[in-house]
Structure 1
């Protein structure tokens, strides 16, 4: 029978666990198995470090098969995992000073209750090792393998035993992973709330004779993880669709249909996606199962959000027990799985696609991501997969590629341009997609109708899709025109800002749908084409030529208005990063919603006569800018300000100071905007007067960044510092070195308007005068010398 147990309970229940002679050597610790070893250790570490009440616990290590032979439990599959657990018990007991407790549990009459009979040397080593308690703490040990091999009970000949070598290698790696932990031994042996368990399976209950299984195992062919899943899943399917199997099964009982297909057609389908090292596609199938389960959860069930979080977690390996115990192997999941496999494997090609092209979804690329990294699928990809699966499941017979393409265009636009922060957001999108099932084959007409609202996605994007659906219905080139706009790699289907520039109000979508008629749609063609041409050129330049024509667009837009969005306590000059809060995409979304960003974009584009000769127009916008904020004026005059920080962040302090940030915090490197812009222009102007110019970046809020002017004078180094003073318009220029200036230097500075304050020679300067005052200082020295 099957039961969930722990390593400690297994020892306690059977008295002795013996790796039989027919098994191979311990391999999990070998150098060539480092990926498997490290992944397994990470899973064990993560599980042991989680709080007892964590819902993802226990970590299930899947099945251990075995039987009782001569009074000992002999595992026929699970040897590698059990051996690693044995070593981990020994190691963590040592780390936590509990070696005597462990020895009382696993040693009887001087013999280890966990034994290796593969070869005598392995058995003797395990016996000696189980009794060994190091005389130093784990924290004092630098080389655990060296410590063990240096013991008097360790025979030199053991170095040739592959099991012993692998065990020592595993202990070395455990030492790297667990040496700084504490209290994990208690978690490891906790039987009331175990952190790590496995399923113990009696062979007789698995319909396999011991002889047959031993022969399989002796040949190195134990059941693979998917074969284990398949055997139990087929039994589960006997209870699904009892009355009538799905149409896809052609009247065949579901379990029989699945069993036959997975061994024939579907097996051939998965073969190109097999692991080249193991020649199996187990992981690919199990990953597909996980992804299908994710997109078939009931969107109206409150538990779905938790289910999605669990399924997207890498902490849990896919297994039948995990899927079954959570109730995830339901009819909807089974129907979706069979439908997808039947559809994808239907053609002569490796993967049968149903969309006419990859504009709205690259089916093969998504499938590859599902097979290789299901837990890394983004929320946007999962929403797309849910819509994709929904259409194939609910469209019997031949797939209408035109209707499918229209559906996936809407699904992808909605998913790509909705912000997802947690599984609950995705669950709402699943619900919205399910609402649309009756209209999948005529989605555009539905969206353009008075009942065409969609829940679970960005309200602005839903409004945009409804208006675009209405425009498409007019013909007149609108389908091609909108498709051309949506295809821009930066817009990715979100072009509400263009509609807004044309005067369409996305916030009043129902009224707009009623107002828009053929004549109105015709009037929109010319402005839409103009704004699309401007936007396309602008974002092509921003992405491809950021320091050339792209910079020209940025400066011209800043000359028109202050469009910088708030990002926490900062404002951002924006980057081309697509998904971040400081990217241009955020500005476009804000423009689609109306307000100042849309007004500034429209105002700039309205000044572009011809997007093909835009450079002169942009230059004119920049040169003619007047009566604008001083900080904008400084940036326009100093384009290098755009290159200062990784994220182009600015901080406007409460007292009116303006700072450029290297990253996102004032406790990192930062510069004061006006002195930084002055540094860029003054470096060459001060040089003829013997001054070198150095910019000092502050790294905390306790100091002010600013400009150093340095030159030699009468055998000393005269060093001046210019920084912001008591307000945004007030700066001070003072002599920092030498601390005790000579009379000649004092005379020059007083002649230049410097005064003594608190022991410093200093001069108060207005922001508008900082450049002229710096040059006046330089000239004062030139006059004297």
Structure 2
């Protein structure tokens, strides 16, 4: 078979073979409904339509379709049998002649009326999607034309079958055998063809649950939307171009005829795989630039660089075990162009949805149609110049001195130590909006510099990046709206990127969006003028991985001693050391030490408060925790008082002698540990609850019950009894409340809880006997307690000063109960 013989049309193949989509193939996917497939479907139908109407390419070639043909040997068998029958009949005819008898013989092959084909069957291994779309297109035009030989034409299409599902096969057969009334109702201008099909009495509702049938209906709607207004003359032209003029073709390869193993399938499948989103985009961008006179690209051969120099850049920075970089390049292009898209429009014109899609990590959800780019005028001369210039700059090895200069001053410790040039190069779409804004500041500087080795430029770069870091990472940028404001503000500032310190300290200079942090930056610059010792320490403290650029509280702690460098250094060094350590694992020494000085805890909603966590999270985590202390005048004074006490924190904690609720957190750090998010609920001294989660909807318990449990657990004299603390999961009820279970040999004998409803809603402990065999001992031991009944006693705590006495009394009485079991051993 020559190569020309391999080139076929769908009509030629369906006339010569049945086409049977095998069970192993997936469902018909070109009719799926999501942004990516919608564009593929729209583009494919557009391309098919244009070539058939003579408005597009001369010929549309659909690459390879290949598989195996079953039943080819049947042709040889039929021919041989026919020849044998003919020879027999000729012999009979000759013998009849000797008898003066005349016998006429005509041999014909009787075809099955249900199909033009009875034995040859193409089983496609690749090309199912294109073949199905072509089947639907042929069916549509045949039905629209209503020619005299429509029955014969449909009979050929009857040879197109699906074996993946019975319902798919039934639907294909249904399309071929639609009655005339149903066909007449199909093509109504203002109605979807799919809805008309579904209205047919012959359409089974169960087919709507078949993914392939649903996909075929969607494709028929797409074809109808494109062709519903075409004239009969145009449809006739399309039919001739489909069948006679061979305008849509593909390479049809019979694997058996080529005597190939399945290895060819692997090779062909690799060769015939779908283009990536980036490859589609690149072709579209090339066409856009070539056809749109308003887009002019300056001094950069982008088509060459994108496949050479820039491609090498992404391969260099790709993540381990990643074997293609198309996604990374495409995401980078979208991300960088986004900056200029934002700058070039007012806030009302900008699509927040477009911003979200560019940030989205799910590949199905982040797909952007090429039509969307055009509608939003996403790519312009200015944005493409900025994009291509950026790619050229960051591809240059000359940048290394600038990048190393950031490491020298530790300018971005909270970007997890990554080289700033790698931000978006390895397909990291999961960057925060802070990181994306900071990267914009970086490329704004780099794009306007040619001499990257110049020492003055290096210092200007360090200063620009430091100021931008502090402004960006200490301002909320958490949604498209704030991201737009941040990008526009950085762009405004970039007009002064080579002299940013001199500019922002000017009395009348305004920094939009970053106003709050900008005031701190001005304050730092004024302290810079006091001497290098101030400058170096300020830079050191702001680069601390917990303070993250915001150290205004250190200046505030100086109060009236604002020029005292030694005091500033003392506070700064000590707090730097404290927050460099994992203070949570140090038995919460900082929180407990602060409690000795007063109630520093931060009020949240309702009665909920926080001890403050020390996690080095994002801005919200920082602002909701220790910055609530740093930036509050009263709490900052508490912190200052603690730092002014030069004793070690452990000594401060051990010497505390207060009598209020704070005492129990100071003496029992496990109570703070129980509060995983550092939240607790405080009403008054006798009403304090520990929250394991964030609300009462999760696990929680009572502070004084928990402390009693810890005392019991730590007591060394118990031998017969053991103790289990039970917290509440979900809201507490009459049968669901925190308790201590007192056990002997895993048998619960007593339960204790801290009650809020004793004698007119007073607080105190309830103790219940669960083992009747101890009734006498229980009654005698707790005889001084108030009683509900003989098995249920309680004791009210009237004041916090009574709490220790009450708890010690319970422990003493339980030791008496314990002696019962000791004596029985």
Q: Do the two structures share a fold, i.e. TM-score over 0.5?
A: yes
Give the RMSD, CA atoms, in angstroms. 5.1
SS in 1 for 2:808: helix
Superposed counterparts of 1:283-432, under 5 Å? 283-299=327-343, 300-304=346-350, 306=352, 307-313=354-360, 314=362, 315-318=365-368, 320-347=370-397, 354=403, 356-358=405-407, 359-361=410-412, 365-395=419-449, 400-432=457-489
Distance 1:188 1:592, change over 3 A: farther
Contact 1:468 1:482 in 2 (8 A): yes
Over alpha carbons, which structure has the higher Rg?
Answer: 2
Q: Give the C-alpha shift of residue 649 in structure 1.
A: 2.0
**1:530 paired residue number:** 570
Matched, 1:262 2:318: no
Superposed counterparts of 1:233-272, under 5 Å? 233-238=285-290, 246=298, 249=299, 257-272=301-316
**2:682 paired residue number:** 652
Contact 1:679 1:707 in 2 (8 A): no
**1:730 paired residue number:** 763
Q: Give the C-alpha shift of residue 604 in structure 1.
A: 1.3
Contact 1:355 1:404 in 2 (8 A): no
Q: Distance in 1 between matches of 2:695 and 2:13?
A: 59
Q: Give the C-alpha shift of residue 286 in structure 1.
A: 0.5
Superposed counterparts of 1:571-590, under 5 Å? 571-579=609-617, 583=621, 586-590=624-628
Contact 1:748 1:781 in 2 (8 A): no
Using the TM superposition, name which of 298-307 and 275-284 deviates more.
Answer: 275-284
Q: Give the C-alpha shift of residue 284 in structure 1.
A: 2.2
Q: Distance in 1 between matches of 2:673 and 2:291?
A: 64
Matched, 1:491 2:547: yes
Q: Give the C-alpha shift of residue 640 in structure 1.
A: 1.3
**1:744 paired residue number:** 776
Superposed counterparts of 1:130-169, under 5 Å? 130-131=168-169
Greater RCO (Cα-Cα under 8 Å, separation 6 or more): 2
Distance 1:110 1:749, change over 3 A: farther
Q: Give the C-alpha shift of residue 409 in structure 1.
A: 0.8
Q: Distance in 1 between matches of 2:158 and 2:421?
A: 47
Q: Give the C-alpha shift of residue 639 in structure 1.
A: 1.2
Contact 1:706 1:723 in 2 (8 A): yes
Q: Give the C-alpha shift of residue 565 in structure 1.
A: 2.4
**1:698 paired residue number:** 728
Using the TM superposition, name which of 580-589 and 669-678 deviates more.
Answer: 580-589
Q: Distance in 1 between matches of 2:65 and 2:639?
A: 64
Matched, 1:708 2:748: no
Superposed counterparts of 1:463-612, under 5 Å? 463-503=519-559, 523-541=563-581, 543=582, 546-548=584-586, 551-569=588-606, 570-579=608-617, 583=621, 586-608=624-646
Distance 1:571 1:624, change over 3 A: same
**2:116 paired residue number:** none
Q: Distance in 1 between matches of 2:420 and 2:21?
A: 38
Contact 2:554 2:568 in 1 (8 A): yes
Q: How far does the alpha carbon of each residue in 1:548-591 deviate from its partner, in whole angstroms, 9 at most, with x for none?
A: 3x632221122222222244453222322233689565444334
Q: Distance in 1 between matches of 2:126 and 2:596?
A: 66
Q: Give the C-alpha shift of residue 464 in structure 1.
A: 1.4
Q: Give the C-alpha shift of residue 340 in structure 1.
A: 1.2
Q: How far does the alpha carbon of each residue in 1:233-280 deviate from its partner, in whole angstroms, 9 at most, with x for none?
A: 23433577969854xx1xxxx6xx222333443344344356998965
Contact 1:671 1:697 in 2 (8 A): yes
**2:262 paired residue number:** none
Q: How far does the alpha carbon of each residue in 1:287-313 deviate from its partner, in whole angstroms, 9 at most, with x for none?
A: 111111232233542243613223223
Distance 1:389 1:590, change over 3 A: same
Q: Distance in 2 between matches of 1:661 and 1:756?
A: 30
Q: Give the C-alpha shift of residue 732 in structure 1.
A: 2.7
SS in 2 for 1:688: coil
Q: Distance in 1 between matches of 2:219 and 2:249?
A: 33
Q: How far does the alpha carbon of each residue in 1:480-512 deviate from its partner, in whole angstroms, 9 at most, with x for none?
A: 2112112222222222221222239xxxxxxxx
Q: How far does the alpha carbon of each residue in 1:679-738 deviate from its partner, in whole angstroms, 9 at most, with x for none?
A: 11222437437432221111132346444353669x996313232232796213322413
Q: Give the C-alpha shift of residue 529 in structure 1.
A: 0.5
SS in 2 for 1:663: coil
Distance 1:402 1:496, change over 3 A: same
Q: Distance in 2 between matches of 1:274 and 1:717?
A: 61
SS in 1 for 2:499: helix
Q: Give the C-alpha shift of residue 16 in structure 1.
A: 8.4
Distance 1:746 1:16, change over 3 A: farther
Contact 2:767 2:792 in 1 (8 A): yes
Superposed counterparts of 1:673-692, under 5 Å? 673-685=703-715, 687-688=717-718, 690-692=720-722
Q: Distance in 1 between matches of 2:282 and 2:252?
A: 20
Contact 1:691 1:711 in 2 (8 A): yes
SS in 2 for 1:297: helix
Q: Which runs of 5+ in 2 are unaligned?
A: 1-8, 54-58, 67-124, 134-152, 173-206, 227-237, 242-246, 254-266
SS in 1 for 2:439: helix
Q: Distance in 2 between matches of 1:748 and 1:411?
A: 74
Q: How far does the alpha carbon of each residue in 1:444-481 deviate from its partner, in whole angstroms, 9 at most, with x for none?
A: 11122213432223x44222122112222443323321
Contact 2:692 2:700 in 1 (8 A): yes
Q: Distance in 2 between matches of 1:700 and 1:279?
A: 48
Q: How far does the alpha carbon of each residue in 1:194-249 deviate from its partner, in whole angstroms, 9 at most, with x for none?
A: 9xx99xxx9x9xxxx99999999898277654343233323433577969854xx1
Q: Distance in 1 between matches of 2:131 and 2:601?
A: 59
Contact 2:769 2:791 in 1 (8 A): no
Superposed counterparts of 1:617-656, under 5 Å? 617-627=648-658, 630-652=660-682
Distance 1:606 1:264, change over 3 A: same
Q: How far does the alpha carbon of each residue in 1:105-159 deviate from its partner, in whole angstroms, 9 at most, with x for none?
A: xxx95887896xxxxxxx774697731589xxxxxxxxxxxxxxxxxxxxxxxxx
Distance 1:278 1:375, change over 3 A: closer
**How many residues end up aligned between the 2 structures?**
634
Q: How far does the alpha carbon of each residue in 1:584-634 deviate from its partner, in whole angstroms, 9 at most, with x for none?
A: 6544433453323322221211213xxxxxxx4323432444546x33111
Matched, 1:778 2:814: yes
Q: Normalising to structure 2: TM-score of the pair? A: 0.65
Distance 1:218 1:83, change over 3 A: closer
Distance 1:241 1:109, change over 3 A: closer
Q: Distance in 1 between matches of 2:718 and 2:321?
A: 69
**1:100 paired residue number:** none
Q: Distance in 2 between matches of 1:579 and 1:78?
A: 54
Q: Distance in 2 between matches of 1:743 and 1:269?
A: 82
Q: Distance in 2 between matches of 1:716 and 1:113?
A: 78
Contact 2:31 2:217 in 1 (8 A): no
Contact 1:16 1:73 in 2 (8 A): no
Using the TM superposition, name which of 378-387 and 181-190 deviates more.
Answer: 181-190
Q: Distance in 2 between matches of 1:751 and 1:373?
A: 73
Q: Distance in 1 between matches of 2:375 and 2:126?
A: 22
